Chains A and B, each alone.
Chain A
């Protein structure tokens, strides 16, 4: 199986206090380090493992600025055959625009594939939508939240997708298709610095996003950035033990973990 797998370089914001700048028009990421999107790390690992098992190859593709080469080197170190960068300085917030760019790229370059893997979502914008939009545009079957690929045959795959509350759904999907990979599907290997250095010797192909702009318009607009309502410290539940315990159960019900 030949697999195209998308990987994105994202800011590692988990530990950071983010600051909104330019009157809501920007977010200051100047001091934030970058990393590979967690979901994509699993997607790359899965693509590499399946390519190995089936005797095909995996190709990593990233959309982003020149710095995104970092996640391609990483993917190659993990075992993808090569890495393509669709270079753009522009940040495409709209998942429609991202999917259109990919659609145009695949059409124009005629890159062959049996399956396209994406992560379920990216850590920064959390849209979780590029895979689905792309599949629909390509007229291909789509399956998301995939937590296991149980079988791969010449014309179809059997996958398990994660639903809520510990329930999973097993589905059969015809090839070619688009699969969005959920974290936890595998244990992504560690990529050592030495490994990345070796991978740097494999040439990465650079394409310009400007060449794939047909019908590429944003259908949504980010008007401004705001801070979410403040949470503050812990709300202390106080009073009689019985009341406190009932309040606790009320919270559990509200959060949907206890009926």
Chain B
């Protein structure tokens, strides 16, 4: 845990690989290499700058000296958080998370509302034999656009005979974004609350629906002794085994966008693609920047709650533009934040954004 958050700014040789891979570089005042330099010399950094970082992690992955620049940004944000001087929208998200355990401040009592109207039974984790937990994620529990993702996955798992349960209102925000915003104290509280629930119900396996939750649970909750997977891993295996069979066809050109927290940060590239490849009629396309080099949609690191002064073209627009040029009809992805950021410009260009589970639901 400690080693992860420890940055090594003093070892930086200013090679610039970080800036070269940064989705904010060039177009915004955010220059990660320069920030590391400033940190080395302990010079003052303008307060608005650290909030540009999307926590995509590219800098940390590319750094030849293991400086962990993205972690350094979290430290900078932490100092601002402790001072109490943070952008109002971030403050609101943190205060909401403190009270309702989700950044949008929606009622915690309604965290399980997504499965109330489903045709299938979604049991509480305590009622399951497998103790396999479906971890919903805040945005997917509340946002009507994203709510379909847990609904779809729950339906598909049930069809394929995979037993699972949920925590409902006992689930708290995973804290992945909270930690990245720099509120480590709140992250610890969320983590303790979730861990206590995992322990109480003897959870053995967690299927995370959002790559962001998966990342936190897998890498930042310490050793839980629980197997943690992303749902695409489970579905890919189910298709392979034949426990679910895509029967229908999906006769469209589909371009897959790798979410940063699924792909480059956790190495899950092939499972989502194997799901798409198993669908008849579907013509898969690739972005020029895909897999490890996938371009960040700018939805991470707190940017879902807060927008920087944007006078530049958003990455999501760049992404959609390329999809249009490649004549894709559908942009597929497997992260709720990516869905939210991509959908806006996509709608404008008359192209559809679908979360993987949505495509799969159409053909099962």
Contact = CB atoms under 8 A, between A and B. Distances in A.
A and B touch in the complex (CB under 8 A): yes
B86 A197 contact: no
Interface in B89-127: 91, 94-95, 98-100, 105-110
Nearest to B190: A193
Given A12-B100, A35-B99, A189 B186 contact: no
Contact of B85 (A33, A78, A189, A193): A189
B96 to A, nearest CB: 9
Contact of A12 (B83, B84, B99, B188): B99
B327 interface: no
A25 interface: no
Interface in B179-230: 183-186, 188-189
Contact of A193 (B100, B110, B169, B188): B188
B81 interface: yes
B99 A190 contact: no
A22 interface: no
B100 A190 contact: no
A35 B97 CA distance: 12
A33 B106 CA distance: 11
Contacts of B106: 15
Contacts of A189: 83-85
A196 B84 CA distance: 12
A108 interface: no
A219 to B, nearest CB: 33
Contacts of B88: 187
Nearest to B87: A190
B66 interface: no
A84 B221 CA distance: 37
Contact of A33 (B86, B91, B99, B183): B99
B183 A192 contact: yes
Contact of A197 (B84, B98, B108, B185): B185
Interface string A178-192: 000000000101111
Contacts of A32: 109
Contacts of B84: 78, 189-192, 195
B344 interface: no
Interface in A1-23: 12, 14-17
Contact of A190 (B91, B107, B109): B91
Interface string A181-220: 0000001011111111100000000000000000000000
B107 A193 contact: no
A194 B82 contact: yes
B50 to A, nearest CB: 15
A41 to B, nearest CB: 9
Give chain B's interface secondary structure class. helix
Contacts of B188: 193
B184 to A, nearest CB: 7
For A17, A33, A78, the residue with the greatest tally of chain B CB atoms inside 10 Å of its CB is A33
B81 A190 contact: yes
Given A12-B99, A12-B100, A33-B100, A190 B86 contact: yes
A11 to B, nearest CB: 10
A192 B91 contact: no
Interface residues on B, range: 20 to 34
A31 interface: yes
Contacts of A14: 105
A30 B267 CA distance: 43
B128 to A, nearest CB: 23
B102 to A, nearest CB: 10
A15 B185 contact: no
A239 to B, nearest CB: 30
Nearest to A14: B105
Nearest to B110: A15
A192 B109 contact: no
A194 B107 contact: no
Contacts of B186: 192-193
Given A15-B100, A16-B107, A193 B189 contact: yes
Interface string B68-90: 00000000000001111110100
Nearest to B84: A189
A197 B82 CA distance: 12
B109 A31 contact: yes
A12 B186 CA distance: 18
A137 B18 CA distance: 65
B200 to A, nearest CB: 18
Contacts of A78: 84
Given A192-B186, A193-B188, A197-B185, A16 B82 contact: no
Nearest to B188: A193
Interface in B139-162: none
14 contacts: A14-B105, A15-B106, A15-B107, A31-B108, A33-B108, A78-B84, A187-B88, A189-B83, A192-B185, A192-B186, A193-B98, A193-B185, A193-B186, A195-B185
Given A78-B84, A190-B94, 17 more contacts: A12-B99, A12-B100, A15-B107, A33-B100, A33-B108, A35-B98, A35-B99, A187-B88, A190-B81, A190-B84, A190-B86, A190-B95, A192-B82, A192-B185, A193-B98, A196-B185, A197-B185
Return the 5 tightest CB-CB contacts between A and B, nearest first.
Answer: A193-B185, A189-B84, A15-B107, A194-B185, A190-B84
